[in-house]
Structure 1
Amino acid sequence: MKTIVRSDERILSSDIFDRDARVVRPDHGFWDEPGRRVPIYHRCGVLVVGGGPSGTAAAAAAARAGADVALLERYNHLGGLSTGGLVIWIDRMTDWEGQPVIRGFAEELFDRLPADAVAGPAREDWGSQDPAKAAHWSQRTAAYHGVVTWSPTVDPERLKLLSQEIVLERQVKLIYHSWAAVPIVQDGRVRGVVFESKEGRMAIMADVVVDATGDGDLFARAGAAFVNDIEEADVHHCMNTSWLFGGVDMKRWIDFKAGQPEAFSQFMAQGREAIGLFERPFVSWRDDIALFMGPRQTGYSALDVDDLTAVEVRSHRTMAAHLDFFRAHAPGFENAFLMLSAPQIGVRHARRLVGTGAVLRSQWPDGVPLADEIGVSPAVSPKFPNISIPYGALVPQSLDGLLACGRHISCDRNSHGFMREIPQCWITGQAAGVAAALASRGGIAPRDVDIGALQSALIAQGVYLRPGAPARAAAKAGETATTD
């Protein structure tokens, strides 16, 4: 076990746990698949593969921009880790001054979710540094560095339903229970995907494909460059399966955790000794439901089926062990019961695209708006200004016909720590969807989309960009034309 402490570059403190011993997979040889003709299931302007936070945002935004859109999802719901992964604690959507910078599709979701499906600080408290308010919300995942932030927790079932209804309202062709297998690439351009379902193997053809798989499955298989360097001692590169306990009293638990720090430390030490992989609970959208977003496990690969299986087995066993221990020792958990283990494993990192641009640690201190800014992220601490997200982070260096969005966009591993979060996935997904719609409509490659037009379209959809974004893009385009 390693204990990660909070720093200017890490907002979380957490224990992370080493993997079990590796098992060497034997070599069983090969089987050559005979050739086959694959029927075309559908043709569309924009195909979004993956219905997680970024994919849902991409499909909704592309359809709103006028594109004919299909959305392919392997599970029976949308929302990805924000719903099926039980990452229901949505990270910071405001900057350190309390201003909302994660807007657009994200704001639409929260405007439409029922009031009883969301828990978090009132809008007038966003950015507050009042010690009492910050102390209160720090125990409820919504205050960091002494600042109250808009970091709500949500009902995952309500978010599933709303996400589905939004894309259906916009006439998106929604395809559940289907797993994209192979990109269709011709002359260096992605023109669709082959996917598997209960019907067998079929294809979807599209003008533009948006890779929202989270792991970069499509761009990697299409030959685009990527990196997968990780820091094994970093919470942002761990895996686990989250779970919920019902029948709890989180107010009693918080009173214990905050009011009796020595007893809480003893409790955590006792839990580590008894269970090994041990985690503390977080609040949810209800006081009678506890969220466990760990224990976070390091040394496993999200691209290895044996590792994925091992993490699931470990997590489910740990869930049962936690229930017994918490019932016996944790105030507020005497009547707890196993409510739900996440249907989707909690993958934080697999691949990252090598794009024409990137979000980089070196950019954090200056916070200068980039000419191709398509979104703004809150910085990881008040030490840094807001961070500009460039369109180039979504565009492969050489592969055409495809855009990437979500946790696998082009960024360094430090910046990945926040760019993988749900709000940032909504932002990059919305940008990818609008850009894909513009490329499809214009019959052009995504890399050739006019940045000023893209920024204007994003602003029209409620996305927050720094003032003067289209003018900066035009000026940059003029400089490039002069240089050429």
Structure 2
Amino acid sequence: MGTQDGGRLFFQSEVFGARRQRRPQRFAPPEGAMVEEAARRTPVHAVCDVLVVGGGPAGTAAAVAAARMGARTILLERHNHLGGLSTGGLVIWIDRMTDWSGELVIRGFAEELLARLPPGAVAGPPRESWGSRDSATAAWWQARTAAFHGVVTHSPTCDPEWLKATSLEMLLEAGAHPIFHAWGAEPVMEGQAVRGVLFESKQGRRAILANVTIDATGDGDLFARAGAAFDSDADERDIHHAMNTSWMFGGADMPAYLRWRAEQPAEFADFMSRGKAAVGFFDKAFVSWRDDVALFMGPRLAGYSAVNVEDLSEVEITSHRLMTRHLEFYRAHAPGFANAYLMLSAPQIGVRHARRVAGVSPVLREHWDGRVAPDEIGVSPSLAPKFANVSVPYGALVPVAVDGLLTPGRHLACDATSHSFLREIPQCWLTGQAAGVAAALAATAGVAPRAVPVPELQAALRGQGVFLRSAAMAGA
């Protein structure tokens, strides 16, 4: 980890530029071709207090939090499972939930979800090691994606199927109503306010009306279509711009592979060099929750748009071809991989960045100085020990102009540099839980989300186990 470009690029990890091979031109339509659609009347499928669109980390946390507040809550999800990129995207390495002193700062829903996973479904440092700066301990956990800058962190790696199952149980226990295989297509608008969503499914086009809607799509599909302003700037040299489809190999011996990497660094460097020459885009294997399963979270492909269907298709094609070529090369040349086999390619594409909403109070680079936002709804660990913990304000989830809508998750309001860590799974749990509580309060009071009293919101979040500093400083 380092800095480039005047401090904007904090992560120096290999990104592979796109080798564009566009679709054959024989499929291109005539210039300006359009299809006229007749006006239609859309049946209303359901009416609720809080509608969450997207069942990823932010959406799941939001729906559970809102339902626990007593709100009639519906969660609309296009896939057949919850968890989004943390499950279907195989981003099973859950990045730092502790700060650089070892204090657990991302709590609430996130802490409860991980605590409910059964033994054997999660791997990571024991609590007594969080914050350890012992060089041997940190080196051991660094190879297992749980120590950075010489500090051991709470960065567990989880079984994606247990994450799915546990997320679903928490949702059902809370009383929320999930609807799977349904794609939120368009917001239902009343002036400048969102009043629900039109969705597509096997039943055709239907509508759900809601007092408050939460856009947890990750790409900001709803707020963009509702007319909310947003930013989409991301440097193509930055890993946070890149996309790929992850995969797992079974039959690996990861302890043997890690020993080889640690004891024969020159051999490993030569292996990586030869892999790039043979495969082109080439990446190293990561640990998973099991010693016999290897995780590949790259190669990261730059130059594509997460909101362009042809780009998404090209990334899928490239990633799946790379998966089989990696298997061939690893089996032939990497210790621990002689008996490896294709286990699973991620059902969901790995998108790191698409849009970021223009919010009432975005998180900016200059806010990494330890300040506490007056409307703090959570605390995020910073990127490196030289920075203080970062306060996440409620206003980062509230669009500047559009009402009836909250926007937690990786498309919250922030600058491109702050997005590099605010997009991570724990931060999505954090902002999702805050959005769910705020939506329930707004729906109950019959007010716009921007009008929810901050002290009331903070008190409710504390009641759900969220770590807040502003509330403590106020003597609560």
TM range (shorter): over 0.9
Of 93, 99, 107, the residue aligned with 2:97 is 93
> Does the 8 Å CA contact 2:372/2:470 hold for their aligned counterparts?
no
Deviations 1:157-188 (CA, angstroms, capped at 9, x unpaired): 00000001111111111100000111000121
Task: Supply the AA of the counterpart residue of 1:416.
Answer: H
Of 367, 374, 382, the residue aligned with 1:371 is 374
Structure-to-structure mapping, 1:442-461, within 5 angstroms: 442-461=445-464
Structure 2: tracts of 5 or more residues without a match: none
Between the aligned partners of 1:447 and 1:414, the Cα distance in structure 2 is 25
Structure-to-structure mapping, 1:36-47, within 5 angstroms: 36-47=40-51
Distance 1:362 1:27, change over 3 A: farther
Between the aligned partners of 1:470 and 1:145, the Cα distance in structure 2 is 30
Between the aligned partners of 2:19 and 2:41, the Cα distance in structure 1 is 43
**2:185 maps to what in 1?**
181
Between the aligned partners of 1:178 and 1:359, the Cα distance in structure 2 is 32
Shift of 1:66: 1.2
Of 160, 164, 169, the residue aligned with 2:164 is 160
Distance 1:472 1:393, change over 3 A: farther
3-state SS in 1 of match to 2:418: helix
Shift of 1:190: 0.3
Q: Which moved more, 1:370-379 or 1:14-23?
A: 14-23
Shift of 1:457: 0.3
1:441 aligns with 2:444: yes
1:79 aligns with 2:86: no
Task: Supply the AA of the counterpart residue of 1:16.
Answer: V
Shift of 1:298: 0.2
Q: Which moved more, 1:462-471 or 1:341-350?
A: 462-471
Between the aligned partners of 1:243 and 1:21, the Cα distance in structure 2 is 22
**2:244 maps to what in 1?**
240
Shift of 1:367: 1.2
1:466 aligns with 2:469: yes
Distance 1:142 1:6, change over 3 A: farther
3-state SS in 2 of match to 1:468: helix
3-state SS in 2 of match to 1:340: strand
> Does the 8 Å CA contact 2:228/2:402 hold for their aligned counterparts?
yes
Between the aligned partners of 1:419 and 1:409, the Cα distance in structure 2 is 8
1:305 aligns with 2:309: yes
RMSD of equivalent CA atoms: 1.5
**2:320 maps to what in 1?**
316
Task: Supply the AA of the counterpart residue of 1:398.
Answer: A
Structure 1: tracts of 5 or more residues without a match: 474-484
Shift of 1:471: 3.3
Shift of 1:23: 2.9
**2:391 maps to what in 1?**
388
Task: Supply the AA of the counterpart residue of 2:113.
Answer: L
Shift of 1:321: 0.1
**1:432 maps to what in 2?**
435
Query: How many residues were matched structurally?
Result: 469
Between the aligned partners of 1:23 and 1:266, the Cα distance in structure 2 is 33
Task: Supply the AA of the counterpart residue of 2:436.
Answer: G
> Does the 8 Å CA contact 1:358/1:392 hold for their aligned counterparts?
yes
**1:35 maps to what in 2?**
39
**2:16 maps to what in 1?**
17
Distance 1:267 1:311, change over 3 A: same
Between the aligned partners of 1:294 and 1:465, the Cα distance in structure 2 is 35
Shift of 1:111: 1.3
Of 394, 403, 407, the residue aligned with 1:404 is 407
Structure-to-structure mapping, 1:27-426, within 5 angstroms: 27-28=29-30, 29-364=33-368, 366-426=369-429
Task: Supply the AA of the counterpart residue of 1:19.
Answer: A
Distance 1:233 1:11, change over 3 A: closer
Between the aligned partners of 2:224 and 2:333, the Cα distance in structure 1 is 47
> Does the 8 Å CA contact 1:373/1:469 hold for their aligned counterparts?
no
Between the aligned partners of 2:78 and 2:207, the Cα distance in structure 1 is 15
Distance 1:467 1:447, change over 3 A: closer
Between the aligned partners of 1:401 and 1:71, the Cα distance in structure 2 is 16
Between the aligned partners of 1:89 and 1:98, the Cα distance in structure 2 is 18
Task: Supply the AA of the counterpart residue of 1:126.
Answer: W
3-state SS in 1 of match to 2:188: strand
Shift of 1:194: 0.4
> Does the 8 Å CA contact 1:5/1:14 hold for their aligned counterparts?
no
3-state SS in 1 of match to 2:396: helix
> Does the 8 Å CA contact 1:45/1:208 hold for their aligned counterparts?
yes
Between the aligned partners of 1:465 and 1:221, the Cα distance in structure 2 is 33
Between the aligned partners of 1:129 and 1:408, the Cα distance in structure 2 is 33
> Does the 8 Å CA contact 2:44/2:207 hold for their aligned counterparts?
yes
Distance 1:12 1:335, change over 3 A: farther
Between the aligned partners of 2:393 and 2:111, the Cα distance in structure 1 is 21
Task: Supply the AA of the counterpart residue of 1:254.
Answer: L
Between the aligned partners of 2:131 and 2:9, the Cα distance in structure 1 is 19
> Does the 8 Å CA contact 1:451/1:470 hold for their aligned counterparts?
no
3-state SS in 1 of match to 2:218: coil
Q: Which TM-score applies when normalising by structure 2?
A: 0.96
Deviations 1:58-108 (CA, angstroms, capped at 9, x unpaired): 000001111110000000000000000000000000000000001000000
> Does the 8 Å CA contact 1:95/1:101 hold for their aligned counterparts?
yes
Between the aligned partners of 1:127 and 1:253, the Cα distance in structure 2 is 26
> Does the 8 Å CA contact 1:455/1:470 hold for their aligned counterparts?
no
